[in-house]
Amino acid sequence: MDSGLVMVDTHILESTRIPLDEAIGMRWSPKGFLDIPVEPEKLRSLFEAARWSPSSRNEQPWRFIVETKSHPEGYERLFSTLTESNKSWACQAPLLIAGFAKKHFDRDNMPNRTAMYDTGGAVANLTVQAVSLGLQVHQMGGYDMRLLKELYNVPEEFEPAAILAVGYADEGGRSSRVRLRRELNTMVYEGVWGRASELLHSKL
């Protein structure tokens, strides 16, 4: 086993013994979805959750393209940008969302150093909202960025961040593979870089 990684059960709420918000603890990245559309009111609330994310200078650099199977031509357009390996499972998702980050501030056109960072936060909030509504989100980095920008006429100013497959997960098809994560003491430091924080070990 690699140093810094810990083997855990797939059901992390039970395995970590550290209580987590349910929408955090129940999140996973399914490769199978049920053949059920996402209700419009749920879809709206996903974006509403993203909308209320914090961002540097309240820039809200995130933008989204959404396509559903109920509009097959549009769905196929976004789907066509995925790698073959992602296509093989993402075809089950009733909903695809592409996320983008605006590279410069509206106000003064200065580079926005945290545009991707803030967009990642907005998508995480969207994901929390999804899980809270019984949905799951699987983020993908494997897609043709050039094709995506071309098909949707995306301005140069906007950087693709990820494509999300969204839907009701096929829990039955869930892999039993353990999920690997770094140990906390390899990611949380105190006093100086690389020294594990004592706070992680102080008495409960």
Provide CB contacts within 8 A for 111, sequence distance 6+.
Answer: 103, 104, 105
Q: Which of 10, 11, 20, 36 binds a copy of itself (CB under 8 A)?
A: 20
- Binders of a copy of itself among residues 86 to 105 (CB under 8 A) are 101
Q: Do the beta carbons of residue 100 and residue 119 sit within 8 Å? A: yes
Q: Do the beta carbons of residue 120 and residue 55 sit within 8 Å? A: no
Give phi and psi for 137, each to the nearest 5.
-130, 130
Q: Which of 90, 93, 116, 165 binds a copy of itself (CB under 8 A)?
A: 116
Stretch that binds a copy of itself, among 23-31, 80-88, 168-176 (CB under 8 A): 23-31
Q: Do the beta carbons of residue 49 and residue 124 sit within 8 Å? A: no
Q: Please report whether residue 178 would count as binding a copy of itself according to CB under 8 A.
A: no
Q: Which of 32, 34, 64, 91 binds a copy of itself (CB under 8 A)?
A: 64
Spatial CA neighbour of 96 closest among 167, 33, 170: 167
Nearer to a copy of itself, 3 or 172 (CB): 3
Least CB distance from residue 132 to a copy of itself, whole Å?
A: 4
In three state form, how does the secondary structure of 58-70 look?
HCCCEEEEEEECC
Stretch that binds a copy of itself, among 67-75, 83-91, 165-173 (CB under 8 A): 67-75
Q: Please report whether residue 43 would count as binding a copy of itself according to CB under 8 A.
A: yes
Q: Which of 7, 83, 88, 189 binds a copy of itself (CB under 8 A)?
A: 189
